[in-house]
């Protein structure tokens, strides 16, 4: 057992430890100073991205893949998304979200380092990605936008922020807005981070070990039934020791900032708090993939939202819970392949 993000990668990577697809070099492009919803600015905002496949003559065959909470483009590649997104036909562009340690983040910003980094929203993440695609990569329309977890949350935001920009939307274990249950979990983790003495409210000089936040996230990432089957009593002392002595493999300010972006997420904000009005604004076809045993992102809002649209809904029912998405799963893979081919 290992804390938080290594644990996250363990579940999301599954058995896909090697693959024939070549790994491209990491792209980095500045979109300039990014003005945020709050009015603050990320100075010299830089985004990381990885591209598989090539744009067609019309430059409209791109599939944008948004990264999950604490993840990056390399982690997405470990899931082999090309099992569902043919990179001969499509150009798969995986974009690192703000504060993932690759794109502009509290951990890597030279001008606004650490706690001096401005707070941003999920919409700010999406706006930065739109700037990258349109102004730096010369892509004005894409075949699809998709993502898992926080990537799915970004996909919902793409749907309302840039409704004409894509043909297909595929949020996977994402949500148009968090439930009260979700907010309790997210706020608890954010509180554990911020109140840890070593965190110093973001003003630390060495990335701290915040065992409590790591352990709580480990508990919710899958389900009690799955943990009872896969985690033996004998490994618990080592699990505790690891959480107390190892960093999360991810900068804690980056974690804290992304968590607060998720807490503030609600696609209905710009529609007088009406999800029905937000749904009416969406132009692209939507394939919504949920996990019925998800203990990190409650599937309820996504399921309810699907009924406001002519959307296809796929319900994964797996004891892995939030970690259920798998491009090797025929139910998920075939639904994505069919949506991209037929819509």
Which residue stretches of the chain are H helix? 4-13, 73-78, 122-131, 150-161, 180-195, 211-221, 224-230, 236-245, 252-263, 275-280, 300-306, 330-342
Confidence of residue 26 (pLDDT cuts 50, 70, 90): confident
**22-179+267-342 placed in CATH 3.40.50.1820:** yes
Per the confidence metrics, is the pTM higher than 0.85? yes
Structural domain spans, the chain: 22-179+267-342, 182-257
Mean pLDDT of the chain: 93
CA distance 161 to 121: 13
The residue-averaged pLDDT of 84-101 equals 97
142-155 pLDDT tens trace: 999 999 999 999 99
Q: Percent of the chain, pLDDT > 90?
A: 90
Whether 283 shows a pLDDT value over 80: the answer reads yes
């Amino acid at each position: 057992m290992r804390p938080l993000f290594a644990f996250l990668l363990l579940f999301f990577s599954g058995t896909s430890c090697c693959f024939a697809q070549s790994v491209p070099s990491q792209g980095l492009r500045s979109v300039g100073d990014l003005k945020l919803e709050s009015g603050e600015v990320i100075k010299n905002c830089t985004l990381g991205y990885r591209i598989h496949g090539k744009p067609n003559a019309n430059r409209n065959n791109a599939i944008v893949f948004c990264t999950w909470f604490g993840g990056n483009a390399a982690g997405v590649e470990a899931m082999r998304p090309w099992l569902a997104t043919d990179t001969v036909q499509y150009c798969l562009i995986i974009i690192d979200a703000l504060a993932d340690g690759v794109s502009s983040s509290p951990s890597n910003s030279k001008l606004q380092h650490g706690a001096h980094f401005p707070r941003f929203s999920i919409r700010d993440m999406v706006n930065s990605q739109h700037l990258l695609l349109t102004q730096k990569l010369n892509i004005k329309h894409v075949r699809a936008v998709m993502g898992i977890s926080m990537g799915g949350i970004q996909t919902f935001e793409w749907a309302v922020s840039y409704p004409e920009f894509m043909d297909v939307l595929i949020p996977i274990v994402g949500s148009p807005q968090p439930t009260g249950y979700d907010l309790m979990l997210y706020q608890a983790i954010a509180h554990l981070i911020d109140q840890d003495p070593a965190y110093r409210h973001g003003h630390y000089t060495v990335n701290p070990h915040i065992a409590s936040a790591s352990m709580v996230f480990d508990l919710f990432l899958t389900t009690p039934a799955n943990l009872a089957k896969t985690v033996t009593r004998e490994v618990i002392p080592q699990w505790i020791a690891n959480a107390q002595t190892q960093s999360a493999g991810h900068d804690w300010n980056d974690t804290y900032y992304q968590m607060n972006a998720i807490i503030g997420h609600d696609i209905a904000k710009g529609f007088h708090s009406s999800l029905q009005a937000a749904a009416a604004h969406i132009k692209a076809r939507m394939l919504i993939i949920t996990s019925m045993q998800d203990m990190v992102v409650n599937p309820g809002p996504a399921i309810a939202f699907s009924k406001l649209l002519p959307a296809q809904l796929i319900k994964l029912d797996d004891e892995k819970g939030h970690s259920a998405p798998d491009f090797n799963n025929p139910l998920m893979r075939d639904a994505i392949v069919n949506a991209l081919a037929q819509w």
